[in-house]
Structure 1
Amino acid sequence: MAKILLIETATAFCSVAISVDGKIISLKEESGQNLHASNLTLFIEEVIKKSGMSYGDLDAVAISKGPGSYTGLRIGVSTAKGLCYALEKPLIAIETLEMMAAGFLSQNPGYDGLICPMIDARRMEVYTSVYNAELTLLEPTSAKIIDENSFSDLLSENIITFLGDGSAKCAETLKHVNALFSDVNFNSAANLSLLAENAFNNTIFEDVAYFEPFYLKDFVLTQPKKRV
């Protein structure tokens, strides 16, 4: 019966949970700008305390590995790796878009369409992928600039539910009878639980020394415009 600390920091949500045998027993999350650096370790301490466990009771640490916010992922992964080093526990990494799709399916039993999680990557670009109702990956993770022809082949034959903080800005562009949009937040550490439990049971662990977040794109530092 695995006890796993779950961490999600890929978007504006800072989310931490503990699962036991795939079931959430403690959860703390909040949304806002620049929360991760100041709140992540506090949230971890809080969920540990609420669970009635100690750090030593954990069997593994699971992280939502990206794609997503460069800063959020860097903070989440470095925190997870530090805990794994200190506690000598294995590290589990789950792709963020898969976590989001799994969360949608858990809340929508019987859904038989496709799921397209989207994470905002500025302007009309999103990090996205497509899954079916069995969580089989149909289109691999990529950075897409969305226009009126995006996903047209899939939409012609399937209902697709678009979700995530990148989907709202695409609603006016992806106008199709088979395009549905969910405004529910699925960037929650709670949605890592079953995926992390499966990885633990199959000993799918990362090399803590060399693991890096899945940034997908290189970080580009932009300079603010000078005022005239």
Structure 2
Amino acid sequence: MKILHIETSSKNCSVAISDVEELLCVCEEVSENYKQSESLHTFVEWALEGAEISLKDLDAVCLGMGPGSYTGLRIGSSAAKGFCYGLKIPLIAVNSLETMIEPFLSQNFDYIIPLLDARRMEVYTAVFDGISGNMITETEAKILDETSFQDFKDKKVMFVGDGSTKAKEILQLPDAEFSEMFYPSAKYLVKKAVGKFNNKEFEDVAYFEPFYLKEFQGVKKKKSE
């Protein structure tokens, strides 16, 4: 069962190849300039070469479906759907926040809370059980303030993601830990993808849309006088 994994929801453009749950190759780069449009297809080519397989060997494509960067998600989704159409293989989608908790499971945290920067004081977030990894609260766009996450003030909590930087400055949670330079990664899609493949939890390629969570907000240019 060979799966191509694509994760483009954040500053990390990430591609991986797996065979069942064995990670064969991963190519990724974190860039402040969001290089998905420049790097994604090159990373796919490199990952296939590193795994020593070709596109025709793939059994499925797994996409980190968001939330996250609107443009990044569109690029990743378009590529994943194109591969699925062309190769006639199924599409699997996984919440990108779920790819951020795996390295921190079973480390004696009561809760793991991903925080993806959504500009200003807003983050994309959800709360996960620190042992089972089960999602406890639904994914949401949350504006941070001093009272955020106070329900967890007496618990051992790990906040992960680039949104943790601004959270660390204002949250009144003295026992919380923060892993700020951590992003969704294709290599952490593998386990979820295998489970969904075995259960035949596939997306309708024709109608699939990423989990944008918020509508795209462009900047209106001023009219020239």
CA contact (8 A) 1:129 1:140 kept: yes
CA distance in 2, matches of 1:91, 1:117: 25
- In the TM superposition, what are the counterparts of 1:107-146 in structure 2 within 5 Å? 109-133=106-130, 134-146=132-144
Give ranges in structure 1 of 5+ residues lacking alignment.
Answer: none
1:1-228 matches, within 5 Å, as 2-32=1-31, 33-105=33-105, 109-133=106-130, 134-156=132-154, 158-223=155-220
Q: CA deviation at 1:226?
A: 8.6
CA contact (8 A) 1:103 1:186 kept: no
Contact 1:4 1:58 in 2 (8 A): yes
**Counterpart Cα distance in 2 of 1:112 and 1:130:** 12
Q: Secondary structure at the match of 1:92?
A: strand
**Cα deviation digits, residues 102-160 of structure 1 (max 9, x gap):** 2432xxx443420000111111000100000211111111111111111101223x111
Of all paired residues, the percent bearing the same amino acid is 47
> What TM-score do the two structures reach when normalised by structure 1?
0.93
User: SS of the counterpart of 1:24?
Assistant: strand
**Secondary structure, in 3 states, of the residue corresponding to 1:34?**
coil
Alpha-carbon shift at residue 178 of structure 1 (Å): 2.7
Q: Distance in 2 between matches of 1:71 and 1:193?
A: 23
RMSD value over aligned CA atoms?
Answer: 1.7
Give the number of equivalent residue pairs: 223
1:20 maps to a residue whose letter is D
Separation in 1, partners of 2:212, 2:183: 19
C-alpha displacement at 1:224, in angstroms?
A: 5.4
TM-score, normalized by length of structure 2?
0.94
Q: List, as ranges, runs of 4+ consecutive aligned residues in structure 1 with deviation greater than 2 Å.
A: 102-105, 109-112, 223-227
Structure 2 CA distance for partners of 1:213 and 1:152, relative to 1, 3 Å: same
